[in-house]
Amino acid sequence: MTIKNKDGSVYKVRGPNPIMKEQDIWSDFTLHNMSFDQETLQNSVNAIKKNKKIDLGSVTTVKSDKITAPLPTSPPPPQKALPEDEVKITVHDRFELPNFDVPDPTPAPKDEDVLKPAAINEKLKNYPKDIMYCMLAEVKERVDALYQDKQIKISYVKKFLFENIIISENDMNLVFWSHLDFLTKSSVVYPRNNSRRWWKIDKIKQAPDGMFFSCVPTEVTPNFRT
């Protein structure tokens, strides 16, 4: 029966490798120790030598004439302390627990620490008087010579307390009068009233015996407590 491929052609068996035609056949050779016979060689040199005994000679005992000092004795155990009399705590010696729900009162500023005006205009006496904390700002403006861009740098140089008069106050604006003429724009003020808000001086106008300062809310919220 003829074996055929899938395409119907007759399948041919590949012939021998042509390289095998030039292969040499060894007909004359000798095998050496191919039977793996055991052969043991005797070592005439003994590497392990027995240790020889060393003669140390006679042993002599030498006695010293020095007198050995006696060892110090241990100190006696400490005596137990006598019990002291009980300390009687009277009612006057006990601490009175404070009310932790009530905050500590803010210490009032000293008169010499507050900058006060020498005189107040009669029209301003109808407005509430207040004391403000202030962090004075120093504003430096730099103009780029090439593009004419303005760069403003604000640094805070001083903290102090001063007396003022609040003209108007709402959520977005605070106007107060002060006799201080060195207050600058961007200075941060904090009234000591119950509003608990920080303000930044935005505009300054001339006023009787002083200046009017218009403020806006600020994100700069320093701690004025020392």
pTM for this entry: 0.48
In this structure, how many other beta carbons lie within 10 angstroms of the beta carbon of residue 180?
Answer: 16
The CA–CA distances, whole Å, from 207 to 56, 165, 185 equal 117, 12, 16
- From 2.40.10, 1.10.150, 2.60.40, 1.10.1760, which CATH number describes the 111-217 domain? 2.40.10
In this structure, how many other beta carbons lie within 10 angstroms of the beta carbon of residue 102?
Answer: 7
pLDDT in tens, the chain (226 residues): 778 888 888 887 777 777 777 777 777 777 776 666 666 767 666 656 666 666 666 666 666 666 666 777 777 777 766 565 554 545 555 667 777 777 666 555 555 588 988 888 888 888 889 999 999 999 888 888 777 788 888 899 999 999 999 999 999 999 999 999 999 999 999 998 888 899 999 999 998 889 999 999 999 998 887 5
Burial of 116 per CB tally in 10 Å (0-12, 13-18, 19+): middle
115 and 163 in contact (C-beta within 8 Å)?
Answer: yes
Tell the residue number behind the tokens 């003022």, with chain if given. 164
In this structure, how many other beta carbons lie within 10 angstroms of the beta carbon of residue 162?
Answer: 19
Q: Provide CB contacts within 8 A for 224, sequence distance 6+.
A: 133, 135, 159, 190
